[in-house]
Amino acid sequence: MSTGTTKLDVVVSDVVPVNDLVTRFHFRRRDGELLPTFSGGAHVVVEMRDGERTRLNPYSLMGSPLDTREYTISVRRDDVGRGGSLFMHRSVKPGLEMVISYPVNLFSLDLRAKKHLMLAGGIGITPFMAQTAQLAGEGGNFELHYTCRTASLGTYADVLRERYDRRVRLYHDDRDERIDLDRLLSTQPLGTHLYVCGPAGMINWVRDRAAALGWPLEAVHFEHFAAPQPGLPFDVTLAVSGKTIRVGSQQSLLEAIEAAGVDPPYLCRGGVCGQCETNVVSYDGKFVHNDHWLSEEDHRSGCKIMPCVSRFEGKSLVLER
């Protein structure tokens, strides 16, 4: 169990292929009770017992927050990834008992907004499935712009169009359709909040244009689940627990620490929430910081690291933990 997260014993109640890349998974509580309530944009961390290895991946809840009989997530298969999504696609079947974390929301709606403008890219649509359901239930004012590679890979595009009609606008890469972003951002009424979830390039593009066009930071929300990047293996010493461990090339520092029996705090496992921030005691080498949490100054100082996504190259590294 990790600080800030409590776990839920669930059973996979359904597995539904959505398209060539995406599969949807439904979870219910094993004791038959209702699941904890959540708000649109929340995610859960799914534990996968993959042989010797425990994988922990975060996925956005995409069902309606108004229905907590089950949780649903959608997983995009990544054939060249680290294996979590492949495990979900290949090994998770209805009836399997699994453990997931309580929901955590690092991408919540700002309900003071007069209007919610949502921009999704690819599988980045999942948090908006829950957010739009939440807003539709409350009569909220929203507009969703969704870019996908092809119509057949437009996950849930048909569902969204059916539910919300013209409040949903689709853009297909193969038809050279592109969001006229500057125009879109410049014509929103005062009091609009912007939400973006998708590939890093899309998030950066939207944030940069919004800032340049005078959108205050407070009105721009984004979520990016960065998978830990592979790299060279390295050794790390944990000063408090007195352990020296090896971090494999396909393993994150956080995963290696967990495998060594230490129980560090985490929430997002994507370098954005700050929960796993760790002090560096000493080092000889260079950090490969992949997080969006620490400031550039923190990165340069060599005093802190986010073990969920960041790595190290060099002779020695001693962390507090």
Residue 95 or 214 having the CB closest to other proteins: 214
CB-nearer residue toward other proteins: 113 or 148 = 113
| C-beta closer to other proteins: residue 6 or 187 | 187
Query: Buried b / exposed e across 186-206, counting CB within 10 Å, b at 16+?
Result: eebeeebbbbbbbeeebbebb
Handedness of CA 90, 92, 98, 102 (dihedral sign): positive
- Contact criterion met (CB below 8 Å) for 235 and 316: yes
Q: Which is nearer to other proteins, 80 or 217 (CB)?
A: 217
What does the alpha-carbon distance between residue 187 and residue 179 come to, in Å, rounded to a whole number? Answer: 13
Only one residue has tokens 């689940």, namely 225
Greatest pairwise CA separation for the chain in angstroms: 59
DSSP letters, 119-143, are EEEGGGGHHHHHHHHHHHHTT--EE
Contact between 22 and 78 under an 8 Å Cβ cutoff? The reply is: no
Least distance in angstroms from the C-beta of 164 to other proteins: 21
| Cα-trace Rg, the chain | 20
Q: CB of residue 145 vs other proteins: minimum separation in angstroms?
A: 15
Residue 226 CB-density burial (10 A; 0-12 exposed, 13-18 middle, 19+ buried)? middle
- In the complex with other proteins, the residue whose CB is nearer, 186 or 301, is 186
Question: Smallest gap, in angstroms, from Cβ of residue 221 to other proteins?
Answer: 12
Which residues, 6+ apart, have CB-to-CB distance to 200 below 8 Å?
224, 226
Residues pairing with 172 in the sheet: 148
Shortest distance, position 118 Cβ to other proteins, whole Å: 14
Min separation Cβ 121 and other proteins, Å: 21
**Nearer to other proteins by C-beta: 186 or 282?**
186
Least distance between other proteins and beta carbon 182 (Å): 10
Please give the residue ranges that form the binding site for other proteins (CB under 8 A): 112-114, 185-192, 194, 211-219
User: Smallest gap, in angstroms, from Cβ of residue 113 to other proteins?
Assistant: 7
The b-or-e profile of 45-70 (16+ CB within 10 A means b, else e) is bbebeeeeeebbbbbbbbbbbeebeb
Shortest CB 215 distance to other proteins, Å: 6
Comparing CB distances to other proteins, the nearer of 7 and 207 is 207
Residue 48, both tokens: 């996968």
95 vs 216 by CB, closer to other proteins: 216
